[in-house]
Amino acid sequence: MKRLAEALFALLILGLPAKAEIATAQADGAVLRTLDKVSGTITDQTLLQEMTTQVGNLSVTLSECRYPIDNPAGDAFARIIIRSDKQTAPVFQGWMIASSPALSSLDHARYDVWVLRCTIPEADTE
């Protein structure tokens, strides 16, 4: 299911005519929200590109965050890599979309992780 969602996302981003493309810019970082489903704890964390944070037994790395140039405070697209201490292969690797977190999401028994927005200089949002 995740592969299908990633393929559909790639088709949408890469397969649209030039007039329908959304011009994006790369941000310095992103704000991610995590939910511990057992304790109910919600935490917002700001990560810079290539920065890693621990969420329980998961290592969450932000590879890239992009946002629409015409609407900097709008949608965010973040490429995330999530690894478990118990596995060598990533448990999630791909793009998360702030406005559609279920489109490409982490499937983990205890934790949910999703992107809220890119972190950008305040001058870009005016």
Tell me the pLDDT tens digit for each residue of 3-51.
655 655 555 555 544 456 778 889 999 999 999 999 999 999 999 999 9
Does 79 reside within a domain? yes
Does 116 reside within a domain? yes
Has residue 62 got a pLDDT over 70? yes
Q: What total number of domains does the chain contain?
A: 1
Q: What is the pLDDT of residue 16?
A: 46
The parent domain of residue 31 ranges over 23-125
Q: What is the pLDDT of residue 93?
A: 95
Q: Rounded to an integer, what distance in angstroms lies between the CA atom of residue 120 and that of residue 113? A: 20
Does 82 reside within a domain? yes
Q: What is the pLDDT of residue 6?
A: 64
* Integer CA distances (angstroms), 57 to 53, 54, 111, in order: 10, 7, 10
Does 114 reside within a domain? yes
List residues bridging with 34 in a β-sheet. 43, 113
Tell me the pLDDT tens digit for each residue of 69-125.
888 777 899 999 999 998 889 999 999 998 888 888 888 899 999 999 999 876 554
Q: What is the pLDDT of residue 75?
A: 85
Does 97 reside within a domain? yes
Q: What is the pLDDT of residue 7?
A: 56
Q: How many CA atoms lie within 13 A of 57 on its CB side?
A: 9
**DSSP code for 23:** P
Residue pair 99/75 in contact (Cβ under 8 Å)? The answer is yes
Does 63 reside within a domain? yes
For the entire predicted model, the pTM comes to: 0.76
Taking alpha carbons only, the member of 102, 83, 100, 101 closest to residue 92 is 83
